Structure 1
Amino acid sequence: MIQKNPLVKIDFEIFSELEQCNGDEQKLKILKMKGIMEKMNKEELKSIMTTELFDRLDKLIEEKKMTLANTIFLLKCMGYCNALKCSFNLCYERSLLHKRFEKMIIDEAKKKKGKKEKLLIDLDECYSTLCNGFSFEFLSICVPCILKVVLNKVERKESRDEVEMAFLSLSNIEYEIKKIGKNQYLKEMIEIINCYQQNHNLTRLAYQSAWKFLIFRLWSERSLEDVIADDLHFAREATRELEELAERVDWSKREEREREWKNILCINR
């Protein structure tokens, strides 16, 4: 894949340069990697996100050749692309870096004083966008922490990207969502969706992700059907979203693969 695919090759070349750079240069290279990953399909993305790569990142932290902040930034970029493309990959969960971050989440969550909330939120978003399985312990840490970000920032336009990332990470928690109790976070989700319907204060991806997080709870709570169908007008909203998205896709222009691929992903969601 590395030899045959130019996108994958360029991305690995940029990654191999990270340890030779300082903090600011690393961040610029990570932004380049993000741009390339956004153009990749699922298989190309999987070939980038290997256990060896995550283990290498863990070693770079250990050797102080890469800052924790830049490592988190890279993982959030990877997690964003992974969740957006609904990619299934177990490599991160098998890595040393995952074990390091898992311990950091538990240790930070246990603190009664001096808790670094921004760090905990960043770690939670990495965890929820890159992992495929969630224990009740981590759900009970990650979900309320990420929802707090959403509730604090949902009305501030300058934070729309952060809110989008938070919602995307929540929507990646699918089948384990049945472990969440019936009334937990329901009031907050209804408030957020109603607020968008009135003010259009979320990105399209954030809004879709909010719905996905709510609807997956139907697996275990069929009583939510009335709220979803009647109170939040799901059929009306879904119809409107699909009509708007379908108008944006020119199915005849196959040469514009990258732009159309993003639109098709949104329609699939």
Structure 2
Amino acid sequence: MQQSPLLKEFCEMFSRLRVYQISDQNLKIMTMNQLLDSFEDNELRTVLTKEVFDELYEIVTCKKLSMKNLILLLKHMGYCKALRGLRISGFKKSALSNCFSELIENDEKNGKIKLDLCECYCLLYDYGVGYVPHKICVPCPMKVAINKEESEKAQKDVEDALLALSSIGHFVV
């Protein structure tokens, strides 16, 4: 199968994620996110695979990618997936999903990082959410969704939280 120029560019950037300097990663990920927006459904499916999520897990655990940049990429992947209504099980089967589940379950803090982890988990995990993450992943974005602050940043956070919550169909006990 012939890769489109956009998919080829994304794959090249993805394969180089571990060699980019941390300072350059943010800019590269922003470019990758723009490419994701331009993908056809089949191209997006090519990117949202277990292998890609496992590779991201490896890159993060080797400290070649910051958690902030990982979340920036994953939230956008999940956002694109959710807006197109795609059902993809790549994240659910990945080591990254297990890592996120443990981080969500064991993190005592209830800050921005936990909210970001919950949103990524909800947007990317298909066919229900496991019980423990579910009991945390629903209240966390729910607190943001009921925010009545009217700033543009707060409204964007509310929209992200609502999209994450809308991605949860049911949960598995």
In the TM superposition, 1:1-269 aligns within 5 A as 1=1, 3-108=2-107, 111=108, 115-132=109-126, 133-152=128-147, 154-174=149-169, 176=170
Whole-Å separation in 2 of the counterparts to 1:72 and 1:15: 15
> CA contact under 8 A between 1:153 and 1:163: conserved in structure 2?
no
**Matched AA of 2:66:** T
Name the CA shift for 1:4/1:21 in 2 (closer, same or farther; >3 Å).
closer
User: By how many angstroms is 1:160 displaced?
Assistant: 2.4
| Partner SS, residue 63 of structure 2 | coil
Counterpart amino acid of 1:65?
Answer: K
Q: Cα distance 1:154–1:147, how it changes in 2: closer, same or farther (>3 A)?
A: farther
Alpha-carbon contact 1:7-1:36 (below 8 Å) kept: yes
User: In 1, distance between residues paired with 2:15 and 2:32?
Assistant: 11
**Greater RCO (Cα-Cα under 8 Å, separation 6 or more):** 2
CA contact (8 A) 2:50 2:90 kept: yes
Bigger proportion of residues as helix? 1
The amino acid across from 2:124 in the alignment is L
- Offset at residue 154 of structure 1 (A): 4.6
Comparing 140-149 with 19-28, which one deviates more in the overlay?
19-28
In 1, Cα distance between the equivalents of 2:20 and 2:13? 11
For the pair shown, the structure with the greater C-alpha radius of gyration is 1
| Preserved contact between residue 22 and residue 64 of structure 2 (Cα < 8 Å) | no
Asked if structure 2 preserves the Cα contact closer than 8 Å seen for 1:23 and 1:66, the reply is yes
Instruction: Indicate the SS of the match to 1:94.
Output: coil
Aligned-residue offset at 1:165: 1.2
Give 5+ residue unaligned stretches, structure 1: 180-269
CA 1:104 to 1:36, structure 2 compared with 1: closer, same or farther past 3 Å?
same
Which stretch has the larger CA shift, 149-158 or 82-91? 149-158
Aligned equivalents of 1:8 and 1:153: distance in 2?
A: 39
Question: What letter matches 2:168 in structure 1?
Answer: I
- The residue that corresponds to 1:259 in the other structure is none
Gaps of 5+ in 2: none
Percentage of identical aligned residues? 37
TM-score, length basis structure 2 = 0.91
Shift in CA distance, 130/54, structure 1 to aligned 2, threshold 3 Å: same
Q: Is the CA contact 2:115–2:140 (under 8 Å) kept in the aligned structure 1?
A: yes
Q: Deviation of residue 173 (structure 1)? A: 1.3
Q: Does the CA contact (< 8 Å) of 1:79 and 1:129 recur in 2?
A: yes
Q: What CA distance in whole angstroms lies between the structure 2 residues aligned with 1:158 and 1:121?
A: 15
Alpha-carbon distance change, 53 to 153 in structure 1, aligned in 2, over 3 angstroms: farther
Aligned length: 171
Shift of 1:106: 0.4
- Could you state the TM-score of these two structures normalised by the residue count of structure 1? 0.60
CA RMSD of aligned residues (A): 1.8
